[in-house]
Amino acid sequence: MATSNSYDFNLDRDAIITEAYSLIGAVAIGTTPSPAQLTGGGQSLNLMLKGWQAVGFGLWLRKEVTLHLGYGTTSYLLGPSGDNASETAIKTEIKVAASSTDLTIDVDSITGMTDGDYIGVELDDGTLQWTTINGTPSGNTVTIAAALTDDVAIDNHVYTYTTKIQRPLSIIEARIIDASDIEIPVEIVSRDIYMALPTKTTTGYINQIYYDPQLTNGVLYTWPACDNVQRRIKMTVKKPIMDFDATDDDGEFPQEWFEAVTTNLAIRLGIKNGIPIDPELKALATESKWMLMSFDDEKESMFLQPKYS
């Protein structure tokens, strides 16, 4: 028996929209929707997927991110114009002591560092100085865009990353990581519990966080405030799904999603264009979305126990 030995089936934006229009008979099979139909279909597609985020779709949208802490800081902006949080954080240490006003540092390793990356250097005053890498690192030497504002001792931490994260929809779990890379769970608390804390500027070992999603950047509150910048927070966050902008943009979702996306989009386009929806299509859209929700869920054990008074 011959098989394709292929597993890369995919549909780009316009192929999804074309399939949806064909399901409601708005375009003949094998033909292409008009530019206006594709534009309107793209808007409906984005609206639908953004709405689906509200019910927790997308295990693959869970990402591991690292937030670098600031001494005495009580809150951090998480997002494209926010503070220093990334999916690609690199940690190394100072190899040769540096002095205030230096524009170069020698580190244990430059692996993964590139020109233009953000770089945070632990100063001897206990703070992190953030700037960018100026030029491609060579050997163990990194040139920085802004001169050091304090001396830097051997073994002080250095952090680099390339891109800030998008605003997380939610934080699923979090850990504080110490200088030896030991991870300790951090409790995620509600707004009222965080707001009830009496002294939010107290410094110490962070054990609680509260996250407020907001708009462009979310706000992460920590308690206590950081007392050691060699610690950082690692979190599993739920990132937003990418927009469909260009005609040939591929979907940022696995193959299991395509039927649910095309059938449910077809219903929306039918309503939008005043086309009666076939009950069989409605049933297929409902069934495919239900199957998707059942599949796209973390498989884990549940433990129940009686409550003792």
Candidates 197, 164, 189; CA nearest to 76 is 164
Give the contacts of 251 (CB within 8 A, at least 6 positions apart): 10, 11, 12, 13, 16, 244, 257, 258, 261
Mean pLDDT, rounded, for 23-43: 95
**Residue 99, pLDDT score:** 98
244 secondary structure, DSSP code: -
Pairing of strands 85-86, 75-78: unpaired
Per-residue pLDDT tens over the stretch 68-108: 999 999 999 999 999 999 999 999 999 999 999 999 999 99
pLDDT of 299 > 80? The answer is no
Contact 206, 233 (CB under 8 A): yes
Alpha helices in the chain (DSSP H): 13-23, 35-52, 191-195, 258-272, 279-295
User: How far, in Å, CA of 228 to CA of 70, rounded?
Assistant: 8
**Residue 55, pLDDT score:** 82
pLDDT of 57 > 90? The answer is no
**Residue 58, pLDDT score:** 83
**Residue 300, pLDDT score:** 60
Candidates 138, 153, 53; CA nearest to 93 is 153
Contact 80, 166 (CB under 8 A): yes
**Residue 216, pLDDT score:** 94
Mean pLDDT, rounded, for 245-259: 92
pLDDT of 294 > 90? The answer is no
Binned at pLDDT 50, 70 and 90, residue 12 comes out as very high
**Residue 124, pLDDT score:** 98
**Residue 211, pLDDT score:** 98
pLDDT of 303 > 60? The answer is no
Q: Specify the residue for token string 């869970």.
A: 62
Contact 168, 188 (CB under 8 A): no
**Residue 305, pLDDT score:** 66
Q: Specify the residue for token string 């040139």.
A: 143
CATH class of 13-58+242-295: mainly alpha
Per-residue pLDDT tens over the stretch 128-182: 999 999 999 999 999 999 999 999 999 999 999 999 999 999 999 999 999 999 9
pLDDT of 301 > 60? The answer is no
Mean pLDDT, rounded, for 112-118: 98
**Residue 133, pLDDT score:** 98
Structural domain spans, the chain: 13-58+242-295, 72-77+170-240, 88-162
Binned at pLDDT 50, 70 and 90, residue 24 comes out as very high
**Residue 152, pLDDT score:** 98
- Calculate the average pLDDT of the chain: 94
Pairing of strands 141-143, 128-132: unpaired
* Residue range 88-162 in CATH 3.40.50.2300: no
CB atoms within 10 A of CB 177: 16
Q: Is 225 exposed, middle or buried (0-12, 13-18, 19+ CB in 10 A)?
A: buried
Binned at pLDDT 50, 70 and 90, residue 197 comes out as very high
Contact 85, 164 (CB under 8 A): yes
Q: Which helix (H) or strand (E) holds 203?
A: strand 203-204
Mean pLDDT, rounded, for 186-214: 96
Amino acid at the residue 229: V
**Ranges 5-9, 111-115, 165-169: which has the least confidence:** 5-9
Q: Can you give the pTM of this predicted structure?
A: 0.89
CB atoms within 10 A of CB 300: 6
**Residue 39, pLDDT score:** 96
The three-class DSSP label of residue 197 is coil
Nearest 5°: CA angle at 216, between 214 and 221?
45
Domains 13-58+242-295 and 88-162 share a fold: no
pLDDT of 302 > 60? The answer is no
